[in-house]
Amino acid sequence: MATLALPTRAERDGDKQRRSVLKSNGALVAYVFILPYVVFFLAFRILPAIYAAVLSFAKYGLSGNVGFVGLDNYARLLADDLFWNSLRVTGVYTVLAIPLTVAISLAVATLCNRTLRGMSIYRTIFFLPVVTSPVMSGIIWVWIFSQNGPLTWFLNTLHLPAPAWLQSEIFVLPALAIVSAWSNFGYDMLILLAGMLAIPREYYEAAELDGTSGWQRFRHITLPLLKPALFFVVVLEIIRSFQVFDTIFVMTGGGPVRASYSLTFLIYDQGFGYFDFGYASAAGMVLLVITLVVSLAQRRLLGRSSS
């Protein structure tokens, strides 16, 4: 017969201590400070997601009449060439943007991981694109990629052909990937730099005594110990790439010939262009599922790497 295990005195004392902490004035103050964020998160994140999930099974337009249609919106998605094109565009953009952003972030983090005079100023400068408005960044980069912009002038100086970046079906996604790398590398740089600073200096000192080169130390010490931070940065960039909208809206509007028509732009276009909110919500649910799958994969990969 199974016996009921009674809690020990230490466990009872621990439970009493935790309950007293939860009821203390400090805990109440902490609850008051986090309450605005919780309310904001529920009002602008959770409730809209639930509402979108409900709308994905309905037909809803400007008339305001909601009609339940079951899985018809998802069946339309599977049969819609525009949806598959947006998914392909998003995938290609992700494949182009992530390696470029991670490579630049890792290189800049390595350069900033030095004890040089004025290094904090350089780190601040590298972080400035992160706090720059996406709309302003898009307008600036439209000028840079224009036929009268500095990039065209630089290529012509080197006697190299300057393509019409934003008007070309071939070059528009690489151009947007460059803008994404410029906008996001500062944030990723800080994450990677924090991971580098957490590596014990004794490892590098021992490697230097063994006569290893800088590349060998980076390859055999920095990269293996930086793996959790790299995994986090990669997954973060995957989520960003699948949710890209601002730069596409400002710079290309989904063109040319829908060569930059991403999944998020499809959601916007169907919802606020054609006012088919049910169909747009179904596409949004697909994007949500993709994001959740990537997040769960990231959690498993991080768990394996840490073990």
pTM: predicted TM-score of the whole model, two decimal places: 0.84
Cβ–Cβ < 8 Å for 240, 180: yes
Q: Which residue has the tokens 């309450």?
A: 35
List the chain residues with pLDDT less than 50: 1-2, 4
Per-residue tokens: 49: 């997601």
Cα angle for residues 303, 239, 175 (degrees, 5° grid): 130
Does CATH place domain 72-306 in 1.10.10.10?
A: no
Give the model's pLDDT for residue 104.
95
pLDDT recorded at residue 208: 86
pLDDT recorded at residue 2: 46
Buried b (16+ CB within 10 A) or exposed e, 158-172: eeeeebebbeeeeeb
pLDDT for position 283: 94
Cα–Cα distance measured from residue 233 to residue 230, given in angstroms and rounded to the nearest whole number: 5
Residue type, 5: A
CA atoms within 13 A of residue 144's CA, in its CB half-sphere: 13
pLDDT score recorded for residue 306: 52
Are the C-beta atoms of 250 and 134 separated by less than 8 Å? Answer: yes
Residue 259 has a CB neighbour count (10 Å cut-off) of 20
What is the rounded CA–CA span in Å between residue 189 and residue 193?
6
Q: How deeply is 178 buried, as exposed, middle or buried, from its count of CB atoms within 10 A (0-12, 13-18, 19+)?
A: buried
What does the pLDDT read at residue 1? Answer: 45
Question: Under the phi-then-psi rule, with left for phi > 0, alpha for psi from -120 to 50, and beta for the rest, what region is 116?
Answer: beta
Structure-token pair, residue 6: 């009674």
Comparing C-alpha atoms, which of 307, 259, 112 is closest to residue 197? 112
